[in-house]
Chains A and B, each alone.
Chain A
Amino acid sequence: MSTTVSQLDQVKSGPWNGGRSPFAIEYGKVMMWFFLVSDAFTFSAFLVYYGAQRFSQITWPDPDYVFQSIPAIADEGYPLVFVGIMTFILIMSSVTMVLAVEAGHRNAKKEVVGWMIATIIGGLMFLGCQALEWSHLNHEGYWWGRIPEHYAGIDKIGAQQFANLFFTITGFHGFHVTTGVIINIIILCMTLGNVFEKRGTYLMIEKVGLYWHFVDLVWVFVFTFFYLV
């Protein structure tokens, strides 16, 4: 028997030769990314349809006049202020989430718990703000299939499309925030129950973190296209 190994028999060790992740990312995390890509397609489809509607209508309600109240403070005259607070809350909760991930890398359980609680509180605050925003608009007369009476003539078509799309898209986003908060609570309980401590890795925090940042990312786009443009 020859002791030299022919080139074909050599053990291949390149990243694409099997036996390990070519991306050096754990399987669950890759799947979370793929889910988020598909979810991004759903949100893109919603927002692109919104764009198409806005391009095709002759008139469209001016967001500066639709969104100008701050609940419990002022009914009108402050465009964008309340949504600014909501945006700040969501960015802030994204930061606390990434700090939880960072603490997870150091296996610092106490810090992970603290930052996760902060993230959950941020998510709940955002949902509360959204509930106030929805109830205010509903009070004004906007809902699926319903618009305030002051719209007349050709304005009605654009206003109706605006109302339907606003509640559908922010509703779908709010649904994502709600599931995100629920998942965050589950992960917090798992952290408190020492599940990750025993597993030796806090990678699960990272996967949930990806989802939470994605929710923040979607809000960045919703905010621009509904409130600013």
Chain B
Amino acid sequence: MSGNNTSVEHGHEGQHADMSKKLIWKVFFYLLAITCLEFFIALVLVYNGPLEKGPLVNFIYVVLTLVKAYFIVAYFMHLKFERMGFIIITLIVFVFIIYFIILLLTEGSYLHTHLHHTFG
């Protein structure tokens, strides 16, 4: 059993050549750049600038957030270098979260329209 484990670990270590120090710092600068871009939009373009808070700005924020999440999960958490079967079983369940988001935001909008119309 223990011998078996070691072989698994060795097989796994072989794939770690992909994650060098250089790549780590590269990913760090990507994350930093995206965060700075978010601050630029929030402070320069929205707070002191011409843009209004609203669906467009929020959409940009969500896209940038998902890009950051991709870099963290794929490179820092090393998921990109795992086998395809493992990537699929960890990510496929988030279909339910997407469905949940659609459901509850629809519900929220419904309440926004009807509850305040009735009591407001």
If A84-B39, A214-B77 touch, whether A58 touches B120 (CB-CB below 8 Å) is yes
A81–chain B nearest beta-carbon distance, Å? 8
A224–B62 touching, CB < 8 Å = yes
B64–chain A nearest beta-carbon distance, Å? 8
B74–chain A nearest beta-carbon distance, Å? 11
A26's partner among B8, B28, B77 (CB-CB below 8 A) is: B8
B59–chain A nearest beta-carbon distance, Å? 10
A213–B77 touching, CB < 8 Å = yes
A91–B9 touching, CB < 8 Å = no
Within 8 A of A (CB), among B17-49: 19-21, 24-25, 28, 31-32, 35, 38-39, 42-43, 46-47
If A57-B112, A91-B35, A154-B120 touch, whether A20 touches B7 (CB-CB below 8 Å) is yes
A217–B42 touching, CB < 8 Å = no
A220's partner among B19, B72, B85 (CB-CB below 8 A) is: B72
B111–A21 touching, CB < 8 Å = no
**Contact code string A16-47 (vs B, CB < 8 Å = 1, else 0):** 00011111111100100100010011001100
Assess whether B118 is interfacial by the CB under 8 Å rule. Answer: no
**Contact code string A202-229 (vs B, CB < 8 Å = 1, else 0):** 0100100110011011001100100011
In the complex formed, the residue of B with least CB distance to A24 is B11
If A33-B90, A80-B42, A99-B24 touch, whether A26 touches B5 (CB-CB below 8 Å) is yes
B97–A41 touching, CB < 8 Å = yes
A33–chain B nearest beta-carbon distance, Å? 6
Assess whether A4 is interfacial by the CB under 8 Å rule. Answer: no
Interface residues on A, range: 35 or more
Main SS of the interface on chain A? Answer: helix
If A91-B31, A105-B13 touch, whether A51 touches B42 (CB-CB below 8 Å) is no
B42's partner among A37, A97, A228 (CB-CB below 8 A) is: A228
Within 8 A of A (CB), among B100-115: 100-101, 104-105, 107-109, 111-112, 115
Residues of chain A contacted by B58 (CB below 8 angstroms): 229
Assess whether A79 is interfacial by the CB under 8 Å rule. Answer: yes
Bound state CA distance, A27 and B4, in angstroms? 11
B97–A48 touching, CB < 8 Å = yes
Bound state CA distance, A28 and B108, in angstroms? 40
B76–A48 touching, CB < 8 Å = no
Bound state CA distance, A57 and B94, in angstroms? 27
B28–A95 touching, CB < 8 Å = yes
Residues of chain B contacted by A37 (CB below 8 angstroms): 90, 93
Chain B residues at the A interface, C-beta cutoff of 8 Å: 4-9, 11-13, 15-16, 19-21, 24-25, 28, 31-32, 35, 38-39, 42-43, 46-47, 53, 58, 61-62, 64-65, 68-69, 72-73, 75-78, 82-83, 85-86, 90, 93-94, 96-97, 100-101, 104-105, 107-109, 111-112, 115-116, 120
- Name 22 interchain pairs, CB-CB below 8 A, sorted by A: A20-B8, A23-B82, A23-B85, A24-B8, A24-B15, A26-B9, A33-B90, A44-B97, A44-B100, A52-B104, A55-B108, A55-B112, A56-B108, A56-B115, A87-B35, A99-B21, A102-B21, A105-B13, A105-B16, A203-B9, A217-B73, A221-B69
